[in-house]
Structure 1
Amino acid sequence: MLEYLTRLNDHNLPYPDTIHPIVVHFVIAMVLFAFCCDVIGYFTRNSRLFEVSWWNMCLATVAIFVAIIFGQFEAGLAKPYHLAKSVLNMHTLIGWSLSGIIAAITAWRYVIRTRNPQKLPIGYLGVGLLLVTIVGMQVYLGDQLVWVYGLHTVPVVEAVKDGILR
C-alpha cells in the first residue's frame, strides 16, 4: 500500500493533478469578490454587501493557508530548473506574505464590523485595492510558472528527469 502513496505520476505528483491551483483560485475569487462587494456597498450604502465581503474574507483567510500547504508540497516535488527558480521563489515569498496580509486585513475588518457594521472607512477600500493589486501580481507569477516554465507538465517533468533542463 505504501508504494502507491509514494509513487509519483507523470506530473511528478502522488495524486492525479495539482491541488494548489484549485484551492488558490478560491482565494483569488473570494478576495476579488469581497473587494467588489465593499466598493459597491460603499457607494450604494448597502451594508448587506459588507456582510458578504466579511464572510468572503474569512473564508479566504482559511483557504490561503490550505493553498500554501499544497503549494509548498507541490513546489518541492516540481524540481524547478534554473530559469524557473527565481519566479518560484518570488511566488513563494509573495504567497506567504499574502497569508499574513489577508489575515491582518480580515482582523481589521472584524474590528470595523464590531464597531459599526453599517459603515466602512475609505482607508479600508484603499488597502483592499492594494490587496487586489498584490493578488494580481501573484496570479501573474503563478501563470508564468505553469504556462511559461511548465512546472508539473509532462514534457517539462520528463526533460528534468532526462537532465535536459537543469
Structure 2
Amino acid sequence: MLTDLLSFLSSSQVVSWSVFNCGIVGEENMDPFYQTGPIYMKQPDLENLMQKVAGIQRDLEDFKQKLLQSIHRLEDAYCEISRTLADQEEQAAKVKQRLREEEDRGIVRNKVLTFLLPREKQLREHCRWLEHMLLMSGSCEGQGSAKKISGN
C-alpha cells in the first residue's frame, strides 16, 4: 500500500490529503479524519516527502526487528524461569520427602524409647531388689556364706 502511494506521488503533481488519510488508515471506504483541498507540490517537495516516507518505512522495519528480538529474549527468559521453577519445585518435593522420612524415623525412635525407658526402670528396680536380697541373705548366713559366694 505504501509503495502504491509512493508511485502515485511520483507520477502526480497534485496530492489531496484524503489520499494520505486513506493510505495511512488503510481502508479506502473510511471517511478521512478531515478534508482538505488539493495540495500543490513542486517536484523537490515531492521528493522530500518521498524520502521522509521511505525513512519512516525504514524506521518501522527497524522497530519491527527490534520488537521481534525483544519478544525472542522475553520468550527465552520465560523458558529459563519455567525451567528454574520446575527444578525448585522438584527440589522442594525431595526436601519434603526427606523431612517426612526423618519425622517417621523420629516417631519410631520415640516409640522405641517409650518402650525401653519403662523396661530400664523395671530392670533397675529388679537389680536393686536382687542386690538387696543378696545382701540380706549374706548378713543372715553370716561369714560362711559370704566366703562361699566370694569363692564361687
TM-score class, shorter: 0.3 to 0.5
Asked which structure has the greater RCO (Cα within 8 Å, sep 6+), the reply is 1
Structure holding more helix per residue: 2
TM-score by length of structure 1 reads 0.33
Greater gyration radius: 2
| TM-score after normalising by structure 2 | 0.36
